[in-house]
Chains A and B, each alone.
Chain A
Amino acid sequence: MSLLDGQADGRKGGQGPVEQSSAEASSARPPDRPEDGMNRRRFLKVLGVAGGGSLAATACGSSSPEKLIPYLLPVEDQIPGVATWYATTCRECPAGCGVHARVREGRAVKLEGNPDHPINRGKLCSRGQAALQGLYNPDRVRGPMARNASGNFEPISWQDAITRVGERLGAAPGAQVRFVTGNEAGTFDRLVSDWLTTLGSSGHVVYEPFGYEAQRHATREVFGTDELPWYDFGAARYVLSFGADFLETWGSPLEYTRGFVASHAFADGTMGKFVHVEPRMSLTGQNADEWIAPVPGTEGVLALAIAHVIARDRLGSPPSDAARLRPLLQAYAPEAAAERCGVSAETIERLAREFAAGPSVAVAGGMGAQHADAHATAAAAHLLNYVAGNVGRTVRFGVAPNPAGGSRYQRLAELSQAMQDGRVAVLLVHGANPAYASPAGLGFASAIANVPFKVSFSRFLDETAMLADLILPDHDPLEQWNDFEPRAGVNLLQQPVMQPVFDTRQTGDVLLELARLMGGRMAQRFPAATYKDHLQNGWRRLHQQRGSRDAFEAFWTEALQRGGVWSEPRSRGAALAAGATRVAATPPAQPEGRFTLIAYPSSVLYDGRAANRPWLQELPDPVSKLGWSTWLEIHPDAANALGVTDGDMVEVTSDAGTVRAVAWVYPGIRQDVVAMPLGQGHTAFGRYAQDRGANAYQLLAAEPTAFGGVQHYAAVTVRATGEHENLATRAGSRRQLGRGIAQAVTLAAITAEGFHPFHEAHAAPVPEPIEKVLDEWQEEQYRDWKERGNYAGAHPRWGMAIDLSRCTGCSACVTACYAENNLPVVGKELMQRGREMSWMRIERYFEGEEGHPPEVRVVPMLCQQCGNAPCEPVCPVFAAYHTPDGLNAQVYNRCVGTRYCSNNCPYKVRYFNWFDYQEPSDQAFSWPEPLHWQLNPDVTVRSKGVMEKCTFCVQRIRGAQHDARMRGTPLRDGEVVTACQQSCPADAMAFGDLNDPGSRVSQLAADGRGYHVLDGLNTRPAITYLARVWNRAEA
């Protein structure tokens, strides 16, 4: 069946690190679990159907006689202990990144970016990594369910379920059938539309909470086209962003990150400049060389004022017709604008000159495009690009990125109204959760009650599914046949990487079966037997269009292996349309005596669709470093005025509603603005999401904006409730206390006199002779073991270099580490006690005086694999020791748990198993069935009372060495890739052998910006950090 041929032709090849007996494969499984037999049996019930069976990778320790379940029929390319890789497409957000799924014994255990993919080039963000926890989520709907008389869901058979839908559809007038989907650009999207049309309905509503309505509206006005522009961050040396958080959620974050880093990271003595304009300093804003906080909603004014200066002083090289804009721009003289947007005229003049010096790009998006005047902001940015002559250079058309499909909040509002009025007979919902992710005022949840028959295709019992009469759970994207078209010319394929975990069925198949069931027009219109056939039919057409010479089968196979087909887009510029001259920035009035709330998409949980992924819940937010909670960002002065501090519970009230959140005092926000992330506050959606934090949608106004979008700004009052909770974070001090952990230098300084690493202020320099004696003594020490046992002969010295000029702090590496190394998720209570286990953490420090806009520095902190490791000699049992190849190994099964090593580790990168996270009966059990199917068989799951730590993914090192030895050639540089390095979207990390002067890591380690953290302790770390370079006046 699908899995089998999926593997037969879709195989990506690639070898797993080590062949293992099933007992070792089981290392990733909780040992001594009596119910393992049970697990395996139900595992077989699920997997066995296809005759595939599975080499159950389970261990029942020595207690019960252990059983092995072999393949009944050995499955092709499923060698026990050897990993297979399948290419597919990530569907966690609309960006459409290509992924490779690593499959062991029939289970997907890791997702990694597809290296030759046009969008993410082998990188993958946290949300992408966490897709696995969607696949194995214990709260997935395990089979079709129907609401019974008593109003509860009860399981039913697929046959029964589909018949019920068929009857309802047959009965209902076609026009009254509505279908809400998320962004499904591709075959499925078309299928749904055609399917509805054939039914006689035009009710296909695409709903993405972040719909890009403003950009579409603006682009139509200014350039008269419906397609969105594509921004070439790589070509722009100067980026001016009006609220666009392009490093987090906006557009295509990985792609934009890559481009941004390429042009902005310090290299060969030069770098671009990035100015971020937003009332709140987002993660993207933290990476800006300059952060400008205008009056909320006035970005448009600022943009036009800058355009004004450029036009006035004829700075740019605009197309001739830019002259038409003169009259429009007249109204935006810097002085006047300064008044309105709260940015000084000088600044405006300077920005204009810098911007026009080009190549530059102005981007309006994110929260800059979610307020009442957002369409003007977006239009203003277009005009600014136009007068600076960027259109056609850094701003291109013809690529048609499609981040939100045809989503328009307007349509959802209409649908909601229609339901209210009882004009909807059957409502089908797939891939959207409007009952949660829409302003409470819209009353979607209440309106849906008037619909007689509601079908949800959701994989989870989310808020909308809870309101349905029937749930027909869809396959997880990793179990599906599907395709996705994030932009023109990029057609991506999804193939099942493993057998379905539960008794689910792909919605495409369901729709086709329904068509068959209903017969007549429907049956003729959709003849395909399975959705896969339907998909292939579509691709046959694609095959012809591309006019590729080889047969379709070959084309298809190759596409599967590559993850899709794509071609360089033929991009073009655009000319001004009539509407361009009508652009006018009319900022909303500032609320009197109230704060402006900005409800922004969490860069981790996005709009809340990822809230049921434990990894993401536990991942500290890149800005606030808080997990598992909703917080209110508030300026120190405002906080003082209200008498609240970190961790105080505050009540936030808008005209739409009231929510409670924990206060987090943040100097990176305007005094008159507070901000709250979306994504939490679910009332359903499984154990990890439910009843956590607050849902900021409750505060947003329901009525659509002029351009048909949602307003993410609201006027609110904030009240201290007097309650307090410990922040769920490891972050101790916000400041570096002069320890030189994260070091930075300005471009001016480094070009003038280079980079001088931090030295402790009062530390007296060690006198020459003593230095010499010490070094000789040290060498003497080494000599004693250099010739002995495992330490004799030549070894690599594994090391890493991390370029802080590239690191954006996005934290993808952290999640990658969780996925690769079987790190347990400890939950909020333990996180409040600083007990999270993430071997890698992104430390965030504020620089500059208190109260002022901070300079934010981030530094990925993982085990430094010290040459003179303080942690090693204090271990009484050699559980911590130094491997011949220079790792600070930790032998988990030897560890007694004195925790002395952790006390003695200056970097605090050792983590202790306070509880038995692998033991189902334990209060802190971390892998409820079937979440543990994801566990990496190559890494031991640590038990209670054991210290654990990063070892540069030693399992990958040993695996690569194994392969090298088997093929008989030495290990090549870059052959070993650590999980964090592999995922890093900014490519900030290099890993390799420091003893090999030719290796990339050695070269980077020798860079002028290189420094070691806490160098004064003479720990001789294997990790070299390259200082951050700011393109700004003062550090």
Chain B
Amino acid sequence: MAVSERAILKSEIRWAWVVGGIVAVILGAILFAALSMGMNPPSNREFVDPKTLHLSSEFTEANLGTSVDPNGRIVARMITTQFEFVPNCIVLPADRDVTLRFASPDVIHGILITGTNVNTMVIPGYVAQVHTRLTKTGDLLMPCHEYCGLGHSQMLATVRVVPPEQFRPDSQGRVSCGDDR
């Protein structure tokens, strides 16, 4: 045979360099986003007992929704439960750092906000948390994206993203959608 196996393997190795290059470019871009913009998947090993969630202080019914901490941090807290979000609408400012915190008293849920990078699973037992900065305004849909039972399809919420100057907390630092949603 004119072409030795060694030559064949040499051409494979040449190709392997191409493959290595692709993998390196992808890893490089991922690392760049992680190092320069703090882009990570939403990890948060913070426990909360689903069986007594409604008795907890943070996720008590009256404390849900968007609020501004005394130190100026904007935090939105929501319950994902079979088969609705509580509250069903939250207000967030665009172009500001915001933190979303979710907890489930029953089964697994998951959320995303359409057209953004906000996405997390909500696992009973944990506080699911996403830090983000929203880049566009308007009423965005926030559906439950993980099968949570027969009412899963009707489980949706609204995220009202307003320009920063229209984001006006009340005296307790709270902002709500105002309507019944």
**Do A and B associate with each other?**
no
